[in-house]
Amino acid sequence: MYTAPDSCKGRCEEPYSEEDECHCNAECERYHNCCEDYYTHCRPEGFSSSRDAITDEDLLHISEQLYKADHNKARPSDIAINPQYQASPDETGHGEDRSLQPLYKYVNEDLFSKPTYASFIKLLDNYQRVTGREEDVTAEELREQDNFLKEVMKTELMKKLFAFLHKKNRYGSQQEFVADLKEMWFGLYSRGDGEQDSSGFEHVFSGEVKKGKVSGFHNWIRFYLLEKQGIVNYFSHNFNGPWDTYPDVLGLQFSWDGFYKEVGAAFIGSSPEFEFGLYTLCFIARPGRACHLSLGGYSLSIQTYTWTKSTYGNGKKYIATAYVISP
């Protein structure tokens, strides 16, 4: 009987083979490379009876813990935004600037001297934004990646995330976790014609331009810094989250040096480790699916996708993208 190579039907516990598009053995969760229907065919009980399962309930609980542990987030007085025009769903594609003023009225830049912010901002200028251009990673840039990971791992938020994933048997040690974070986020792959031109971090946090449109670019710090320089022009928003403190969420329309972003949902006022941690959690727990979380009693979903065309380690998948789903 022929089974589609991207399905687990009839393939449960099949030994690992690097020729397979996706996998159906017990290790596939750890390597984020299970087929999408792995839970349907190989774990009929939805994996919930296993000690190591990350249940929907677990995700709601750990996300609230991470939310409470975001001690570096902006205070309400640190940021003043001016969202102006709210676009309807059929207006987001118009590419019209319907807001005369910038989005950010004020940001307390003292935030940016905190170690996780400072090490994050250093990473933002390390990338060529156009896909198809090889990324040349210098020794200094590799040190900046290591420094960012070192700083975020000092935070209570990332320690809590590691403790959770360790308990769920995803990682044996913090060293293993950090090494995997470095690969899944900073490892290079090709979105173009074979050039090592992209990474999960570049796509999500720094942003790219592909086929004349902005791709990725889901970070408020990056947006603020470029808006201040006059390189980003805020057009409108299509969604404003229910939070009355930071982090909040906005769905944005904007242009970056003339290239348009139709809907770029972003946390506003969160620390770098908060976004990095939540996206990592969802990529590990629900790769390629909506990941339902709870932040301060409000629900929020994150979508991640794995990069399917190349792998690292023993068939592990890179992050292709991660973003907040605008309702």
Closest residue by Cα to residue 238 from 300, 296, 322, 325: 325
Cβ-contact 164, 157 below 8 angstroms = no
261 catalytically annotated: yes
Long-range contacts, 250-257 (Cβ 8 Å, 24+): 250/81, 250/83, 250/103, 251/326, 252/103, 252/223, 253/87, 253/92, 253/95, 254/103, 254/214, 254/223, 255/95, 255/97, 255/214, 256/207, 256/209, 256/214, 256/217, 256/226, 256/231, 256/232, 257/231, 257/232
Choosing from 32, 237, 261, 317, the catalytic residue is 261
Choosing from 168, 218, 237, 317, the catalytic residue is 218
DSSP per position, 59-110: HHHHHHHHHHT-TTSPPGGGEEE---PBPPTTTTTS-----SS-SEEEE-GG
203 catalytically annotated: yes
Choosing from 203, 210, 237, 317, the catalytic residue is 203
- Catalytic residue IDs: 203, 218, 261
